[in-house]
Structure 1
Amino acid sequence: MILLTGVTGTVGRLVAERLATAEPVRLLSRDPRRIAALAGPGTEVVGGDFADPVSLAAALTGVRAAFLVTADPLAPAHDEHFVTAARRAGVRHVVKLSARAVAEPDADDLITRRQRDAEDVLRASGVAWTFLRPRAFMSNTLGWARSVRDEGVVRAFHGAAPHATVDPRDIAEVAALALTGAVLPGRAHPLTGPAAISAAQQVAVLSGLLRRPLRLVELTRDQAYEGLLARWPRPVADALLEGAERQGAGAKARVEPAVRTLLGRPARPYRVWARDHLPAFGG
């Protein structure tokens, strides 16, 4: 039995769609109704909450491998609860979605520190582990979709700064291989796209695919922070702004070969991701 968490999110959903395996798959969600459509032959949906160790114990019963996605840096106990329950249930391998910045000493924001701590918890548990450490998802540019459709405008902070963003589909394929045993545990895999690309270059790609002009509006630091505060609690907004400033300094431009090595093909470029999601931008 393989257990997947984070199935309502970008990568977890893609893993669920791609996981072709002879063994059963169990999907965990706080609200099973949201993922009921994913249930079917060989796949079951169960309720559970990272804040509720009893529900985790039930969900992990009979599980051989698990995909762990925790998304709240203000709730560090979530990883501890899951890993403890996994160890007690006899889970043999946990594949954790982490972050590339964990391995970078100059990254010391709240989100990165939480991911480092979570990795340490899993390492110390005695359960075999695999860490997937992606850069930002190409799908984050879906946040531009409305302004692209309605105004032909993209608003970005450090719009000229390169970032080795990765297609979530590549992350999901690596996760599926790890969960089914095709990628051996005990390693951390830095996952990036095939080239660093700036917001300005992404806008140019979208403009070409849409066959209409788009305009990039550069946000000031204060404007970017105000936008983050509108969506996130202040500690999280502070961490995201620190990450954006590191990108502006060029800290997120390095391209890694792990996707090509693990999948036996090049990582998907942004143009391919954008082409496949063009309807969201009005294409």
Structure 2
Amino acid sequence: MILVTGATGTVGREVLNRLPADAAVRVFARNPVAVLEAACRAEVVPGGYEDPAALGNALRGVRSAFLVTSRIGGDQDARFIEAARSAGVGHVVKLSAAAVEDPLADGLITRWQRESEDLLRGSGMAWTLLRPRSFMSNTLSWASSMQKAQVVRSLYGASPNSCVDPRDIADVAVRALLEPGHEGRAYTLTGPRPVTAVEQTAQLSELLGRPLRFEELEPDQARALWSARHPAPVVEALLHSARRQRDGAKAQVTGTVAELTGRPARSFREWAGAHLPAFGPF
């Protein structure tokens, strides 16, 4: 039995879609209706990490699990890992982030990710860590301003990021869940080349056949924008991350996707071309 958490999220949804039809799959979801609406073939167990009984039901008989947590600074990883160990789970594939490898990245989010990785490595279970760079799908946050004003607004628009297609992360995750030989490995996952927000804007404009312009945000403007959605400590962590990108810390490209899947990592243009309807009508 394979357990998938985060199945309604960006990567978990793709993992679920890629698992073989004949595989025994279970989903642990806070919103099971959203999973079922996606025509999920898997067994669905409702609940959250804070519910020990539901978590125990979800983990019963599980051989390997795909772990996604989202409560920054919370205890979701600790709760899941303890329950998985007690249930006899053999292998956990965890979604982490590439920033954990950057010694100068010490914001709240990255510290939490490092601590979560440490918990899993010390659990006694076999583990695989997936460390993607930023998701290409993060650009969907631009959809509203693109529709309203044909503009993309971002901080440090000329700074490169070797962002990765969530489908590539999912392809690697499925291999780690199904194939032997991935235990004790940490995989840094990137796209085929670094790309800037200015370049992404130009590519979206070309693909959509609509003029788009890029507007550079000042740090205080970004802080105000993000403060509408996130608490102050998270906003400061996002600003720290943006500064690391400005300094070139997110430009490195790895060949891990190609090595593990046998094909090149998808480019931003490929991702965008497959998701143009998500940017809405113009």
Q: Which moved more, 1:260-269 or 1:176-185?
A: 176-185
1:200 maps to a residue whose letter is V
Measure the CA separation in 1 of the matches of 2:51 and 2:104: 34
2:87 corresponds to: 89
Q: Work out the CA distance in 2 between the residues paired with 1:192 and 1:169.
A: 12
Describe the shift of the 1:202–1:39 C-alpha distance in structure 2 as closer, same or farther (beyond 3 A): closer
- Corresponding residue number in structure 1 for 2:44: 45
CA offsets 1:25-71 (integer angstroms, 9 cap, x no match): 00111121221234655x11111211222321121000000000001
CA contact (8 A) 1:60 1:89 kept: yes
Aligned-partner residue type, residue 16 of structure 1: L
Match of 1:17 in 2: 17
Change (3 A) 1:255 1:40: closer
1:61 alignment partner in structure 2 = 60
Distance 2:211 2:192 in 1: 26
**Contact persistence 1:177–1:183 (CA under 8 A):** no
Tell which deviates more after alignment, 143-152 or 93-102.
143-152
Match of 2:194 among 193, 196, 207: 196
Aligned residue number for residue 70 of structure 1: 69
Q: Take 1:242 and 1:54, find their aligned partners in 2: how far apart are those partners?
A: 38
Q: Which residue of 2 aligns with 1:226?
A: 224
Identity level (%): 55
The DSSP-based 3-state class of the residue aligned with 1:236 is helix
Query: Counterparts of 1:182 and 1:201 in 2: how far apart (Å)?
Result: 39
Cα-Cα RMSD: 1.3
Paired letter, 2:145 = S
Q: So what's the TM-score if we normalise by structure 2?
A: 0.96
Note if contact 2:45-2:57 (Cα within 8 Å) is conserved in structure 1.
no
Name the residue aligned to 1:30.
30
Within a 5 Å distance, the mapping from 1:245-264 to structure 2 comes to 245-264=243-262
- Taking the aligned partners of 1:39 and 1:78, their CA distance within structure 2 comes to 27
Give the secondary-structure state (helix, strand or coil) at the position aligned to 1:10.
coil
Distance 1:107 1:200 in 2: 24
Matched, 1:112 2:115: no
In structure 2, the gaps of 5 or more residues are none
Give, in whole Å, the separation in 2 of the partners of 1:87 and 1:234. 34
Contact 1:65 1:92 in 2 (8 A): yes
1:213 is displaced (CA, Å) by 1.6
Displacement, 1:237?
1.1
Q: Matches of 1:21 and 1:45 in 2, distance apart?
A: 15
User: How far apart, CA to CA, are the structure 1 residues paired with 2:155 and 2:244?
Assistant: 12
* AA matched with 1:222: D
Instruction: For 1:134 and 1:83, locate their aligned partners in 2 and report how far apart those are by CA, in whole Å.
Output: 21
Say how many residue pairs are matched.
281
- Bigger drift between 165-174 and 228-237 goes to 228-237
Q: Which segments of 5 or more consecutive residues in structure 1 lack a partner in the other structure?
A: none
- Cα deviation, 1:191-222, whole Å, max 9, x if unaligned, reads 00000000000001011112222100000000
User: In the TM superposition, what is the alpha-carbon distance from 1:124 to its structure 2 partner?
Assistant: 0.7
Select which of 150, 153, 157 maps to 2:151: 153
Contact 1:39 1:45 (C-alpha < 8 Å) held by counterparts: no
Give the counterpart letter for 2:253 in structure 1. Answer: V
Structure 1's 40 and 224: CA in aligned 2 closer, same or farther, altered over 3 A? closer
Shift, 1:131, TM fit:
0.2
Q: SS state of the match for residue 11, structure 2?
A: helix
Q: CA deviation at 1:103?
A: 1.1
Give the AA of the match of 1:35.
V
Which residue among 136, 139, 156 is the counterpart of 1:138? 136
2:238 to 227, 237, 240: 240
For 2:39 and 2:127, locate their aligned partners in 1 and report how far apart those are by CA, in whole Å.
27
Q: Distance in 1 between matches of 2:214 and 2:132?
A: 26
CA–CA distance in structure 2, aligned partners of residues 158 and 99 of structure 1: 20
